[in-house]
Structure 1
Amino acid sequence: MMSNAMNRRDFLRSSCASMAAGSLFCQGRVSAEGPRPNVLFIGVDDLRPQLGCYGQSQILSPNIDRLAREGLLFERTYCQQAICMASRASLLSGYRPNKGDIFRDGPLFECVPDALPLNMHFLNNGYETITIGKIYHHHSDEKKGWSREAFHAEGDWEGRGYLSPEAIAAVEEYDAKNAKARRHGLGPAFEGPDVPDDAYADGLESRHAVEELNRLQDRPFFLAMGFHKPHLPFNAPKKYWDLYDPDAIDLAENPFAPKGMPDAAGTTWGELRGYHGMPEKGPMPDSLARQLIHGYYACISYTDAMIGRLLDELDRLDLRKNTIVVLWGDHGWKLGEHGMWCKHTNFELDTHVPLIISAPGMETQGQRTRALTEFVDLYPTLCELTGLPLPAHLEGKSMAPLLADPNQPWKEAAYSQYPRSSTMGYSMRTDRYRYTEWRSMATKSIKARELYDHETDPAENTNIALDPANQALMETLSPKLQAVFGIAKD
């Protein structure tokens, strides 16, 4: 409950009149008077909804689970493209990846030079805006819209964050043999040295975030903290590996491509194959797969502990009463499902993302919503929750009303896309189906279709688009997909 210093207002809808007096929000809107709420904006790289609060009992994520108990958990949120650069640029700008060809993964301000991203909008409206760690993918995008220079930790690690002598030696060997390669600094795909939390970047950066919370506590702030893990390589202190019994770790139940999957829909998971000891082609051996999953889990628990460090400091500083906390993962990640690893597809595993919003005064703490929501919805949501004007360019819909009524009718579908050379996969997730069209970028003609029935096939193991019985259904879905992506009618 908010302090008496907070302004009290009646709710806009009689159905919400029972919410407690003194609450900061009125039908999802901030009070026009009183302190402006802060925003703690937590991004996590490559985090699929593999968390305790999402029903994954094998995962130890007590701090994220605590945040879910203090906020609203979004069960069905989707990113707009399952790759770091485009997903983040879309989320922060409020544009879908078609805008300025964001889908090609260039820096936001090169794709859309006049972009007004979320952080810049907060800065322009009197907030101090701080970025720590990985929020944008491209460092050039950190040059605008922030009150201070971006903070990136510097430490004793080599290459991409290795600490063990064996890993560092492998990095040096790889770089010597691949001097002209696009990727450098690749060692093993995982390590678990016996080191403290602050030996890695996420520890140092979360410690800096705590320092910033102390500095900012008397002024309105938008603090963006971006965690690197569980992105490859799966490097985390040994104590987080020790939380899990490797013999109890399950492998993917569907290590095979979906029946009837078009070639464009899959990947050869090249992002992972470049690491030391990974197979250059063919399937992943079971023993190695189990080690990789173990490392992914360890990294989640490590990041969870660092998130706990931030939440604890918010509580200690008595800032939770006036701070909106948002936690998101930029896209999903495959752990051997469909015989694939990494992201880079339109499958549910890649596009389905975790999202939790905790706002002061909300009466839906600990509840969940099954509303179909998207990352482009975050920008207008935070504007509404903080009372900022909505920029005209936004393509999403504010989720703020869901904080008052999580079960109300909502979007008919969420939309994602992924390019393959000269072909674009446009995908929509409805309450029951995932429908994807693979279209020529030049002619917009359809080259292939996918349709998965989540009522009978939640793992998306069979593409039923080839069944003539589903033709009528696809003909009803296609115009909706075309309208969102601005595709000229065939």
Structure 2
Amino acid sequence: MNKFFTYIYCLSILLTGCKSNEKKESIVKQNHQPKNILFIAVDDLRPELNFYGANHIKSPNLDKLASESLVFNRSYCNIPVCGASRASLLTGLRPTRYRFIDYATTADKDAPNVISLPKLLKQNGYITRSNGKIYHENNDDSLAWNNIWFPEGNIRNYQLEDNIKNNGNANLAVAGAAAFEMAEVSDTAYFDGKIAQKGIADLKMLKNRSKPFFLALGFMKPHLPFNAPKKYWDLYDRSSIELPASYIQPQSTPKEAFHKFGELRNYGNIPLKGDIPDDLAKELIHGYYACVSYVDAQIGLVLDELKRLELEDDTIVILWGDHGWNLGDHKLWCKHVTFETALRTPLIIKVPGITKGETTDAITEYIDIYPSLTELVAIETPNTIEGKSFVPILNGEFPEKDWAVSKFKDAVTLIKGDLFYTEWTKDDGVAYARMLFDHKIDPLELDNLAEKPAYEKQVKLLSLELREKWGKDFLKK
């Protein structure tokens, strides 16, 4: 048995005592051969799913996967923007004031000397394949992969003639094209259907290889534009869709916490300023739901193939969304803020022989994913990694680490227990605005406590703790 894995196993026995017979069998079984990893990323996916307590989005395949997995109720991205979040997750490094900043972030530029998760796996004998959107830039960290594939065509992937014409050759949204479309097309007309079929083909190819595989599938929806085949729109009755209970911007919340959601306003059917009209807001929510159901169906096809090929028992499946998303929460759309709606993310992991539909309320950060997967496949984690493995949670333990730190631009948030504390800081780390929410009494984050005299002492302590935990390189250029 690998020395590193033996150490972890022995430590778990010491910590858990004689109740570990079942865990011992699972862990020993896990080490008979290196496990494959099916690594599923879903762009802009909120944890608004049945296994998180919602009951209005139809996602039967994700529900089934969750029933066989460990579901993280309190998982948080480290930065709510796609390029930076993905680079941070795959390198295991925290964002800082000057590293992992925006959607255009690349690991090659911001962490050139760090061994990424796929590169480490490749160095240790894994076949690594990237399909769809894994990094934001397709060729980022290119040496980590045996193969990189992305569907051909315009990134906006419109199918309706007017949208195709209005969008032209632009890969970013332009004034004429709509923020959503409902087309009478097959599932494979859109990118996610193609990504699923490529994943299925890869599984068939990898089935008989002598090496373990790391197959990464990056699905595009529910990212804007909300384009999905009509049959998925037909699953929902728009008259039953309601605006969120937090459809308000309280005076007590710092103005810095809000933005004009320019990502959405780029589309031709969205007002250039002001609130989104209620009917249009509900249509956007409808489109988001349809896209979630569409991508759920594609993921289901891949998981069905994994089972048909009898690879289930040898494959870890992990599914994550790169950040949260606002659907009118705080009258905001898109991400790019540090409210919980942009930071909290879906994260589920299925480990054969171990997970059986459990849930955990342990606070988990996305930088924890890298060291967790390396531990599960018994590969030593590089000392550059800043996250902490959540494998103890799989063994029925509660981790010592009970906090997370996320940031976006000047805003840095400490998540600890029920508290969400955010500071907006200057280059020298001095705060110029702050907000504090207690989710025990204010889960919708509508009452900022940071400037209330009764919380002055607590704010000072949280401010110190934030600086202790935001990373040793946070202010380093």
TM-score norm. by structure 2 comes to 0.92
Per-residue deviation, 1:184: 4.8
Aligned positions of 1:21-420 closer than 5 A: 22-23=25-26, 25=27, 30-31=30-31, 34-98=32-96, 101-104=99-102, 105-148=104-147, 150-154=148-152, 158=154, 160-172=156-168, 184=174, 187-218=177-208, 219-362=211-354, 364-405=355-396, 408-419=398-409
One-letter amino acid of the structure 1 residue matched with residue 421 of structure 2: Y
Does 1:17 find its partner at 2:17?
A: no
Q: Letter of the aligned partner of 2:138 in structure 1? A: H
Compared CA separation, residues 69 and 271, structure 1 to 2 (3 A): same
- Match of 1:139, SS state, is coil
Contact 2:174–2:268 (Cα < 8 Å) also in 1:
no
Q: Does 1:459 align with 2:437?
A: no
Whether the aligned pair in 2 keeps the contact of 1:160 and 1:186 (CA below 8 Å) is no
Q: CA offsets per residue over residues 36-55 of structure 1, 9 Å max, x none?
A: 10000000000010111111
Unaligned runs of 5+ in 1: 1-8, 176-180
Kindly provide the amino acid, as one letter, of the partner of residue 122 in structure 1.
Answer: L
Structure 1 159/483 Cα, relative in aligned 2: closer, same or farther at 3 Å?
closer
* Offset from partner CA, 1:330-371 (integer Å, 9 cap, x none): 000001111110000011000000000000110x41110000
Q: Is 1:432 matched up with 2:411?
A: no
Shift of residue 21, structure 1, vs aligned partner: 6.8
Tell me the CA shift for residue 411 of structure 1: 2.1
Note closer, same or farther for the CA distance 1:281–1:325 as it changes in structure 2 (3 Å cut): same
Measure the CA separation in 1 of the matches of 2:155 and 2:75: 34
Alpha-carbon distance in 1 for matches of 2:361, 2:176: 39
The answer on whether the counterparts of 2:265 and 2:271 sit within 8 Å (CA) in structure 1 is yes
Poorly superposed stretches of 4+, deviation over 4 Å? 181-186
Contact preservation (8 Å) 1:413, 1:430: yes
Contact 1:159 1:186 in 2 (8 A): no
C-alpha distance in structure 1 between counterparts of 2:269 and 2:433, whole Å: 35
CA separation in 2, counterparts of 1:36 and 1:159?
Answer: 36
1:218-263, Cα deviation, whole Å (9 max, x unpaired)? 3300000000000000000011001111111111222211331112
Residues 205 and 186 of structure 1: is their aligned pair in 2 closer, same or farther, counting only changes over 3 Å? farther
Classify 1:136/1:185 alpha carbon distance in 2 versus 1 (closer, same or farther; 3 Å). farther
Q: Which residue of 2 aligns with 1:5?
A: none
**SS of residue matched to 1:236:** strand
Aligned to 2:469: 484
Paired residue secondary structure (1:95): coil
Q: Distance in 1 between matches of 2:215 and 2:19?
A: 30
Amino acid paired to 2:418: R
C-alpha separation in 1, matches of 2:100 and 2:125 = 28
Query: How far apart, in 1, do the equivalents of 2:379 and 2:325 lie?
Result: 34
User: Is the 8 Å Cα contact of residues 439 and 445 (structure 2) preserved in structure 1?
Assistant: yes
Q: CA RMSD in A?
A: 2.0
- Counterpart of 2:4 in structure 1 is none
- Scaled by the length of structure 1, what TM-score is found? 0.90
Paired AA for residue 339 in structure 2:
F
* C-alpha contact (below 8 Å) 1:49/1:332 kept by paired residues: yes
Residues 409 and 35 (structure 1 numbering): CA distance in 2 closer, same or farther, change over 3 Å?
closer
Give a deviation string over 1:399-455, Cα, whole Å, max 9, x none.
01111216x244221110010xxxx111011111100111102x2211011100101
Distance, in Å, in 2 between the alignment partners of 1:445 and 1:20 is 47
> Do the aligned partners of 2:128 and 2:214 also contact (CA within 8 Å) in 1?
yes
What is the one-letter code of the residue matched to 2:88? Answer: S
- Aligned partner letter, 1:361: G
Contact kept? 1:414, 1:430, Cα under 8 Å? yes
CA distance in 1, matches of 2:121, 2:97: 22
Give a deviation string over 1:353-399, Cα, whole Å, max 9, x none.
0000000110x411100000000000000000000011000100000
How far apart, in 1, do the equivalents of 2:18 and 2:131 lie?
Answer: 40
1:214 alignment partner AA: K
- Contact 2:174–2:266 (Cα < 8 Å) also in 1: no
Contact 1:159–1:168 under 8 Å retained in 2:
no
Question: Helix, strand or coil for the counterpart of 1:141?
Answer: coil
Q: In 2, distance between residues paired with 1:191 and 1:142?
A: 33
Give the residue type in structure 2 aligned to 1:456. Answer: I
Give how far 1:185 is off. 8.5
- How many residues align structurally? 459
d(CA) in 2 for partners of 1:377 and 1:99?
A: 20
1:403 counterpart letter in structure 2: L
Aligned equivalent of 2:3: none
Aligned partner of residue 144 in structure 2, secondary structure: coil
- Counterpart-to-counterpart distance in 2, 1:147 and 1:405: 36
Amino acid at match of 2:196: S
Cα pair 1:30 1:384 within 8 Å, conserved? no
Residues 245-284 of structure 1 show CA distances to partners (whole Å, capped at 9, x for unaligned) of: 1111111222211331112211110000010110100000
Partner secondary structure for residue 216 of structure 2: strand
Superposed CA deviations along residues 100-131 of structure 1, whole A, max 9, x for unmatched, are 62224421111121121100000000000000
| Distance in structure 1 (CA, Å) of the matches to 2:421 and 2:300 | 38
Q: Secondary structure at the match of 2:139?
A: helix
Q: Decide which moves more: 9-18 or 235-244.
A: 9-18
Give 2:458's aligned amino acid: L
C-alpha distance 21-396 of structure 1, shift in aligned 2 (>3 A): closer
By how many angstroms is 1:15 displaced? 5.0
Structure 2 CA distance for aligned equivalents of residues 159 and 342 of structure 1: 18
C-alpha deviation, 1:154, in angstroms: 2.1
